[in-house]
Chain A
Amino acid sequence: MNSKSLSLAELAALVRDLNASGTSVVAPVPTRSLCGADYRPITELNQATLNGALPRRSLKELFLPASEVLLRYRLKKNDVELLPVPTTFTPQVILGARPCDAAGVAVLDRVMGWDYRDELWFGRRAATTIVSLACPGFDGVCFCHAVGLNPDASLGSDVLLVPRGADAYWAMPVTDKGEALLARGTFADLVEPAEVTAFRKAAEEKVAKNLASLPSGFHTFMAQSFDHPEFKAIASRCHGCGACAAVCPTCHCFDIVDEPEGMEGGARRRNWDFCATCKFTVHASGHNPRATQNERFRQRVMHKFSIYPQRFDAVLCTGCGRCVRACPAGMDLPEVLGHLYAAQAAGGVS
């Protein structure tokens, strides 16, 4: 399929058409505090903001909800009845996703499909079409360029939109699902116009200034730098609150707990959990393999920039910068990375 031209009015009609046909549409909606946006269902396009406001939380929760029922159980005398949850979902279209958020979902596909397929994750993935909106480069702490993405990256997106002025978009189908979505309307073909190319180039140049690309061999350097003083120097500032992981599009740790619902039954749920918290790895004996905050902060950085690249051949970070903006202790991941780059350049492990 050729790339297309979409006017704001055509996009609004598409939102109405999707809703009418039973497909829910999710888009960045301004928060009540007017600071940022949240990905929320919309029925009309004018409820959404497509002007580049960064949703406070990532797309992750649309595929891995903060608390999700894995199954329900009903207790009977000497017996238990299990009530499975469905693994097929109502179709949804995410409109105006950040390219970095769409990429985060694609990066997580690797662990979610590792030998055992997580049907709850992939059920939602199958039901979802992601329409990303190229980003103008958000602020001084995003660093998607450094992790191999870009403000117009199409990884994880089914369609990529790039703005053309205030009320039109250039639409590039990326996958079959994206083509099917664009086939719902009669949109005019449009070869990438110069203004779109200029927008993409300007955004890339802007973001590239925030942090240099990960040096080659960085994950190997990290694997050998478990005892790097950088971790001790900065990690003691971390409160272990887990806010960074909650807002992160790629942090995916979870806990599994039972929650009774009355006397006769209840639900087994998975709830987001955070490796920075102090009880995360405590054994029943009381022994804790990650006894101090240094180790817990290090785990988060290692998982993203060393472990995941080793195991899944992808960096577990999209450079969205949310962890930097959310951290009450002022931990600054690109700054930490910058220090580690310097250490690698200076000849490795101290």
Chain B
Amino acid sequence: MSPLKVLNSDSTAVPVVCWSCAVAHNESTLFCTACSKVQPPPGVDYFQVFNLPRHLQIDLASLEQEFHKLSRKLHPDRFARATEAEREFSLADTALINDAYRTLRDPVRRTEYLLKLEGEEIGEEHAGHNTGNAERTSRVPADLLEEVFELNMQLDELREGDQKDPALLSEVGAAGEKFSGMLNELDGNLQHQWALWDDGDAATRTAAQKQMVALLDRRR
């Protein structure tokens, strides 16, 4: 059997008529509000999937809670013996909420995603025939990654070997400080701009947007 199969891609337009009870909805949703049957993936953005305003400062605990709540209802495990149409909708909807959660829970992906929604072009690769938005291979800056590995190795040495080797101890200490310093700086800058974007007026927003694009480009 070939590992690839062709699925029907659905376009979604509002108003939507429920495939099961034929009630029309003005908003496209994951479930029919009338008969609560699963619907094809709605044409909404990731923030709308979780009923969130388009903000960058997110309460991760309640995002997780909402993600779990939707997963319980939509996951293909719940539809293993349902009709083929429902299985297909459940699969597509779950992919949507998983994609949305993966993007929103991560500070950098979330920022990138919002900037794209706002029309900014970041990391757009026009090389070759691919005009898409494939992720660049290293999202975490290489020097930072290097630091992490270095630190881990030293920590292991410390655990396995002589705990009191003062040279090693201070090396680890230095590496640790450098590492957290780099992380904090990046995060701090980004978070500062988040607040400006979430709470600012139009002009502040535009400025914050440009700052964030610059910050993300530097990370690459």
Q: Does A pair with B?
A: no
